[in-house]
Amino acid sequence: MNRPDQLWMAGEQALARKDLQTAERSYRAALAIDPSHAPALLGLSTVLLWLGRHRDGHDAGMAAFRVRPPVAPILYAIAQRLAYFHESESLAGCLQDPAFAAGAPADIIAKAAVMLSSAGAHEQATTLVEEGLRRRPSDAACLHVRGNFHFFRGELDAAEKCYEASLRSDPLLYQNSMMLAGLRPASPEHNQVDRFTAQLDRARPGGNGEIYLSFALHKQLHELRRFDEAWTALERGCAAKRRQVEYSTAQDVALVETIESVCDAAFVGATSGVAQPVVPIFIIGMHRSGTTLLERMLSGHSQVADAGETYAFHAEMELATDRSSAKGPDVGLVTAARSADFDRVASGYARRARWMSRGRPFITEKLPHNFLNVGFIAKALPQARFLHLQRDPTDTCFSNLRQLFSGVALYSYDQRELADFYLLYRRTMAHWQKVLPGRVLEIPYDSLVQDPSGTAGRVAAHCGLRFEDSMVDITRSSGTVSTASANIARQGFQRNRGQAWRDYAAHLQPLIDGLAPAYAAPAAP
């Protein structure tokens, strides 16, 4: 082992015992001898993040990317760090190295393909997972991921074959069962209730399998109109998931209060003058409020690229405030934003937007939680457009309750917490209407599904686009919809999706009572 490797190993040992100062010294000593030692750069990045030096940690991670050696495990470690910093373009470049596909095991290839898909590099992700299956055709993880990619493209028969093959390879990979439940509506003649029930009996209590299967069983029973049984399954799944997540309504109350304090009219009105290569269109609202339908509408326009649900803007806020906040804005980040350099935010976002736009002059950004960032976005990107989807409060919240999310919407597994969050969201949107009048176009969900052409015309005008007939054809086969609403979006504008909660009204009193203020007070105009 050469001297840089010895120093790097010493740094790893110090890091394992959380001796951060010793770890930093060891990594820097290794880099003094060999500045291109990628593992030492990654270790240094980790130490700096733990020390609260987010920008320096980012710089070390990017340095590791620039010197990346063609060694599969190191390339994957660098890609993981790039994903943490939401550096999508560099992530795609890192995993494009032929050495990664040639040397990584199939299960790591599956994880890398998910990272690429989450970054919007869908074609590259598909190519990579196909390579994993070429080398190991029965790999359960790769089969599951390929099934997801078929599902996102609306190729349901192909998705079903992949999920079934994945389950044959690993009967405990219950994510497949949850995805199978969402492929087609259950009917008395064709359903998987008995299968999911048997799987649930075998799943470990409190584990992910219990959660996946409870939500899958709820969906099938709901479609069969066996509502009491469906509620029992949903309640079980929500309770198991809530035990796994850490969430505090009080923290979100403090966050919204801080946003209101920092983002007054004077603060958000002092905007950046940094030119942007594209016009971002931010689609905001609660999860399950119709944002995917609206994104699908806009992405039908010849001038618009759909970037998906990216954390690109939030990543620039983390850099500008020198704070890590992996789950989105928090009180510390918002407070630090008072003195942040918003020209830096704008310049960094411009770099990311060039890659996301794929050469088109407009992009959609559809991360629902960006409703918390509206003031900061308006300040950094004065040319940005905002579209706010509003759906009936109980419809929205019940749809959240029924949806198993991946790492987001932690408030959605308890009725009271869900109602409280909804009210905080409404309060935040009312604040933006007050300090940014005219910037946010409010779009009622009912208008979107009942009058798509008229809504598309209003949306196009607000965004500075000319209406195109293709905007209304959301059932088109082109494009990738990589959210839980993928199948629904491809079914077109449906007018009968509301009021599903009424079949469960006897069980939903905490939610109904909690949402009462949302009906007493008018929505933001």
Phi and psi, residue 442, nearest 5°: -85, 130
42 DSSP β-pair partners:
none
Residue 390, classed as helix, strand or coil, is strand
Q: Residues 288, 115, 306, 329: is their CA dihedral positive or negative? A: positive
- Report the chain's C-alpha Rg in angstroms: 24
CA distances from 222 to 172, 485, 521 (A): 24, 17, 32
| Environment class of 227 (CB within 10 Å of its CB; exposed 0-12, middle 13-18, buried 19+) | middle
Contacts of 8 (CB under 8 A, 6+ apart): 26, 27, 30, 37, 39, 40, 43
Q: How is residue 143 written in tokens?
A: 């089969």
User: Taking residues 185-208, what's their average pLDDT?
Assistant: 96
Measure the CA–CA gap between 219 and 193, rounded to whole angstroms. Answer: 9
User: Taking residues 259-288, what's their average pLDDT?
Assistant: 96
The pLDDT tens digits of the residues spanning 310-319 come to 999 999 999 9
* pLDDT tier, 379 (very low <50, low <70, confident <90, very high otherwise): very high
CA-wise closest residue to 391 among 449, 475, 460: 449
CA-wise closest residue to 213 among 195, 191, 227, 186: 195
Measure the CA–CA gap between 511 and 508, rounded to whole angstroms. Answer: 5
pLDDT at residue 490 in the model: 45
Q: Hey, what's the torsion of the CAs at 232, 234, 236, 240, to 10 degrees?
A: -170
Q: How far is CA 18 from the centre of its chain?
A: 31
Q: Residues 119, 120, 123, 129: is their CA dihedral positive or negative? A: positive
CATH fold label, 249-520: Rossmann fold (3.40.50)
Q: Would you list the domain boundaries of the chain? A: 249-520
pLDDT at residue 213 in the model: 98
**Residue written as token pair 């120093």:** 7
The pLDDT tens digits of the residues spanning 217-271 come to 999 999 999 999 999 999 999 999 999 999 999 999 999 999 999 999 999 999 9
By the 8 A CB rule, do 216 and 236 touch? no
Whether the per-residue pLDDT at 320 is higher than 70: the answer is yes
pLDDT at residue 525 in the model: 43
Percent of the chain with pLDDT over 90: 92
CA-wise closest residue to 118 among 408, 462, 499: 408
The pLDDT tens digits of the residues spanning 111-164 come to 999 999 999 999 999 999 999 999 999 999 999 999 999 999 999 999 999 999
By the 8 A CB rule, do 356 and 298 touch? no
Question: Is beta strand 279-284 parallel, antiparallel or unpaired with respect to 440-444?
Answer: unpaired
**Residue written as token pair 């299967």:** 213
Question: Is beta strand 279-284 parallel, antiparallel or unpaired with respect to 385-390?
Answer: parallel
Alpha helices in 51-155 (DSSP H): 54-66, 72-84, 88-95, 98-103, 106-118, 122-135, 140-152
- Entry field: residues in the chain: 525
Total Cβ atoms within 10 A of residue 369: 19
By the 8 A CB rule, do 129 and 120 touch? no
Q: Residues 341, 345, 346, 351: is their CA dihedral positive or negative? A: positive
440 DSSP β-pair partners:
386
Total Cβ atoms within 10 A of residue 190: 8
CA-wise closest residue to 441 among 457, 424, 458: 458
Q: Is the pTM of this model over 0.75?
A: yes
Measure the CA–CA gap between 79 and 61, rounded to whole angstroms. Answer: 9
**Residue written as token pair 């999920």:** 163
The pLDDT tens digits of the residues spanning 53-93 come to 999 999 999 999 999 999 999 999 999 999 999 999 999 99
By the 8 A CB rule, do 391 and 449 touch? no
